[in-house]
Amino acid sequence: MLRAGFDSLLSLVIFLVFTGFAVAALVFAAMAREDAYRAAEKQTKKFWLIILGINLVLNLLLPMLFLQIAGLIAAIVFMVDVRPALAQVSGGGRGRGGGSSSDGPYGPYNGGR
């Protein structure tokens, strides 16, 4: 009886983590510009939105572990390979400007030197 409760709790946690990751990947894919995908020489924005959207729908409608793992792999590929390439093409990973962490609103901060 205790094991059945643990199994259902574990499957709920897996469902929430996989679905949350799918939502995050889909949001990042939707926020990137179309030309950044072409400049990074990755698949098109439409391709990634379709793949990640299908992943999210399958997670919500058919929570089968095999399909969830396949969708998780697609989301991981996007987050680990495509997203950094898009950030690099779009001007770095920090905001819109791509500056360093010591940049102020009017340029780099040099400590009053």
pLDDT tens-place values along the chain, 113 residues long:
567 776 788 888 888 898 999 999 999 999 998 888 988 888 889 999 999 999 999 888 887 778 888 889 999 999 999 999 988 888 765 544 455 566 666 666 666 55
Domain presence at residue 104: no
Report which DSSP code applies to 44. -
Domain presence at residue 70: yes
Domain presence at residue 52: yes
Whole-number Å distance between alpha carbons of 32 and 86? 7
pTM recorded for the entire structure: 0.70
Domain presence at residue 17: yes
Domain presence at residue 103: no
Range of the domain at 86: 2-93
Give the DSSP per-residue string, 52-78. Answer: HHHHHHHHHH---HHHHHHHHHHHHHI
Tell me the β-bridge partners of 104.
107
Q: What is the pLDDT of residue 94?
A: 52
Number of domains within the chain: 1
Q: What is the pLDDT of residue 12?
A: 85
Domain presence at residue 113: no
Helix, strand, or coil here: 103? strand
Domain presence at residue 27: yes
Helix, strand, or coil here: 104? strand
Q: What is the pLDDT of residue 63?
A: 72
